[in-house]
């Protein structure tokens, strides 16, 4: 068999079912012959996003896989891979490489060299006899330690060279392993948590990748500790739970703001504690417990009182056992009225937003769209994601996820339009879920043509476009240029485009029709159609939705 046939068989052994790709690369045909379905995107960044979204929902088992040609294909995919690296998403990237005789010769683009800074591992199959060992190393990196994209470059000539089929007999799917935290460190940290007066748990996406929501729930209920999540960790703790505060990001809701400010101990589990525009800064004066699977995060942005290195599931189980031993059957010393306080703070905060969420104004208030989405969609049967910019700030504080991967939060280094690829990957991973991405008109301009990929490929997603005909969140930064040259203005009838690309679509201008339109779109997806809902919304500046901080 050829080298690419061996690679396709290894992918099959590792449970891979889909290959998102853009031609030309022979791995597409090899995968199809092996029974792996190719999903051909319109542009590489979206194709990477499909693999990204699939990996998130599957927790990397099996991983999403993306393949592209050398040169422009590898160059165009870079932004998508960098995005996934920033959010630590485990996925496999298979670029075709230039023939070995031309490898590394200027100006040929080398994936091995150029992607080194945005991948966890990158290696070239420079001879057919190394294919098994190279793929084994790649899957070992995918399955263990800090998640992240892994890349294997396949030179075009090596790809079609013959390899002894018996070589595949030496390949076995890689078994993953993980480690607990140091027991002494866990015992000291658990004692600090148990004795705290106003503790909170700060959960990141490491809880999701470790499949540790059950343990997180058990610890929170044992100690009656409120739980907030990071943006990437949103849905790691079910947000309809009485101890759920919500997600902290560039914006946050009232309960997160209140409890984070008042906390005396913050237990970060499965989070990097990174200071970034899309993360929540921890106020000074807190005792910090930081449990992560990568030592690079410890002490990076905060001085940590109790550092712990270990898998989130294992560490949470250690904390549960240690806390029970410390309590000895007694109630914890924490705030026993946490549930009542959370409910009270949330009610007061939400009441202040009700005029926006239930507004009858036209053009439609975008918060009305978010509110109607929440009212008309059961989060336990859905997967929802935002896009960059205003949609993210508008939806994250309000939408209540129902448990692991019912919401895909992202944002450390992501371009406009990322959500479209992610939600297609999510639909492939969970075909029975109602999958929704909420994007603005600027984001649609970046990747909107890949809605055709969903329609053509039979991936019945629902894309919500909030069309305010402007880059409204840039009102402050582009005031002069806009007054002189209308630099923030955008235009387009996106519902018409959705229909032209083969999907079901509807344009909504009446606030009273927002909820019914969402239900109609859901029905269309249940009938197997990709749906696009365009809501004509009013402009909301960055300042107006930053009020979600307070």
For the chain, domains (ranges, CATH) are 3-170 (3.40.50.970), 183-341 (3.40.50.1220), 358-549 (3.40.50.970)
For the cut 90, the answer to whether the pLDDT of residue 336 exceeds it is no
Residues 6+ apart with CB under 8 A from 511: 359, 360, 361, 362, 364, 365, 368
Asked if residues 223 and 245 have their Cβ atoms less than 8 Å apart, the reply is no
Residue 37 β-bridge partners: 18
Q: What is the pLDDT of residues 394-437, one digit of tens each?
A: 999 999 999 999 999 998 887 899 999 999 999 999 999 999 99
Query: Given pLDDT bands bounded at 50, 70 and 90, which one contains residue 550?
Result: very low
Query: Given pLDDT bands bounded at 50, 70 and 90, which one contains residue 549?
Result: very low
Please classify residue 400 by burial: count the beta carbons closer than 10 Å to its beta carbon, then call 0-12 exposed, 13-18 middle and 19+ buried: middle
Q: What is the pLDDT of residues 113-132, one digit of tens each?
A: 999 999 999 999 999 999 99
Asked if residues 231 and 278 have their Cβ atoms less than 8 Å apart, the reply is yes
Asked if residues 488 and 441 have their Cβ atoms less than 8 Å apart, the reply is no
Q: What is the pLDDT of residues 154-209, one digit of tens each?
A: 999 999 999 999 999 999 999 999 999 999 999 999 999 999 999 999 999 999 99
Question: How big is the chain, counted in residues?
Answer: 550
Element (H, E) at 136: helix 131-143
Using CA atoms, how far apart are residues 427 and 433, in angstroms rounded to an integer? 7
Mean pLDDT over 292-298 rounds to 96
Q: What is the DSSP letter of 331?
A: P
Contacts of the segment 291-294: beta carbons below 8 A, 24+ positions apart: 291/181, 291/189, 291/267, 291/315, 292/206, 292/268, 293/145, 293/146, 293/178, 293/206, 294/145, 294/146
pTM of the complete model: 0.95
Where do runs of H (alpha helix) occur along 287-434? 312-327, 338-357, 366-376, 390-395, 418-429
Using CA atoms, how far apart are residues 279 and 249, in angstroms rounded to an integer? 4
Range of weakest confidence among 77-81, 241-245, 281-285, 484-488 = 484-488
Structure tokens at 271: 């989070």
Residues 6+ apart with CB under 8 A from 359: 365, 367, 368, 511
**What local confidence, expressed as pLDDT, does residue 15 receive?**
98
pLDDT mean across residues, the chain: 94
**What local confidence, expressed as pLDDT, does residue 302 receive?**
96
Question: What percent of the chain clears pLDDT 90, i.e. is strictly above it?
Answer: 88
Q: What is the pLDDT of residues 206-233, one digit of tens each?
A: 999 999 999 999 999 999 999 999 999 9
For the cut 90, the answer to whether the pLDDT of residue 344 exceeds it is yes
**What local confidence, expressed as pLDDT, does residue 329 receive?**
83
CA distances from 81 to 109, 425, 502 (A): 16, 15, 29
């Amino acid at each position: 068999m050829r080298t690419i046939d061996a690679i396709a068989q290894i992918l099959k052994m590792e449970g891979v079912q889909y290959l998102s790709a853009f031609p030309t690369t022979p791995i597409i045909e090899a995968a199809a012959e092996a029974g792996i379905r190719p999903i051909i995107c319109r542009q590489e960044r979206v194709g990477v996003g499909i693999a990204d979204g699939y990996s998130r929902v599957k927790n990397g088992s099996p991983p999403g896989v993306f393949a592209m040609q050398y040169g422009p294909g590898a160059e165009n995919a870079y932004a998508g891979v960098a995005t996934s690296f920033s959010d630590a998403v485990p996925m496999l990237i298979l670029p075709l490489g230039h023939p070995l005789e031309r490898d590394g010769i200027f100006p040929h683009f080398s994936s091995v060299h150029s992607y080194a800074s945005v991948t966890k591992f990158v290696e070239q199959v420079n001879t057919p006899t190394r294919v098994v060992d190279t793929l084994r190393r790649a899957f070992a990196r995918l399955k263990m330690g800090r998640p992240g994209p892994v890349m294997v470059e396949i030179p075009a000539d090596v790809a079609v060279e013959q390899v002894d089929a018996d070589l595949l007999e030496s390949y076995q799917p890689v078994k993953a392993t993980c480690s607990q935290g140091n027991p002494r460190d866990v015992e000291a940290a658990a004692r600090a948590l148990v004795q705290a007066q106003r503790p909170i748990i700060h959960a990141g996406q490491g809880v999701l990748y470790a499949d540790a929501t059950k343990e997180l729930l058990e610890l929170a209920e044992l100690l009656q500790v409120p739980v907030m999540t990071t943006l990437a960790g949103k849905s790691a703790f079910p947000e309809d739970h009485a101890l759920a505060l919500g997600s902290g990001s560039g914006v946050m809701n009232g309960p997160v703001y209140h409890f984070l400010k008042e906390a005396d101990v913050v237990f970060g589990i499965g989070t990097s504690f990174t200071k970034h525009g899309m993360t929540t800064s921890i106020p000074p004066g807190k005792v910090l417990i930081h449990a992560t699977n990568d030592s690079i995060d410890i002490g990076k942005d905060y001085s940590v009182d109790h550092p712990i290195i270990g898998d989130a599931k294992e560490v949470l189980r250690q904390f549960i056992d240690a806390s029970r031993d410390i309590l000895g059957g007694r109630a914890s010393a924490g705030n026993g009225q946490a549930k009542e306080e959370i409910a009270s703070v949330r009610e007061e905060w939400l009441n202040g937003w009700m005029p926006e969420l239930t507004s009858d104004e036209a053009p439609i208030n975008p918060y009305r769209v978010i509110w109607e989405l929440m009212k008309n969609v059961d989060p336990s049967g859905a997967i929802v994601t935002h896009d960059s910019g205003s949609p993210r700030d508008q939806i994250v504080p309000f939408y209540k996820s129902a448990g692991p991967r019912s919401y895909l939060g992202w944002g450390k280094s992501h371009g406009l339009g990322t959500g479209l690829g992610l939600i297609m990957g999510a639909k492939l991973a969970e075909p029975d879920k109602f999958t929704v991405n909420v994007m603005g008109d600027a984001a649609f301009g970046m990747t909107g043509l890949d809605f055709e990929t969903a329609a053509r490929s039979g991936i019945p997603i629902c894309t919500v476009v909030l069309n305010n005909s402007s880059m409204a969140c840039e009102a402050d930064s582009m005031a002069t240029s806009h007054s002189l040259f209308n630099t923030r203005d955008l235009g387009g009838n996106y519902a018409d485009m959705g229909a032209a690309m083969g999907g079901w679509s509807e344009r909504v201008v009446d606030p009273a029709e927002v909820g019914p339109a969402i239900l109609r779109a859901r029905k269309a997806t249940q009938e197997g159609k990709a749906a696009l809902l365009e809501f004509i919304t009013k402009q909301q500046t960055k300042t107006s939705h930053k009020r979600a901080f307070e």
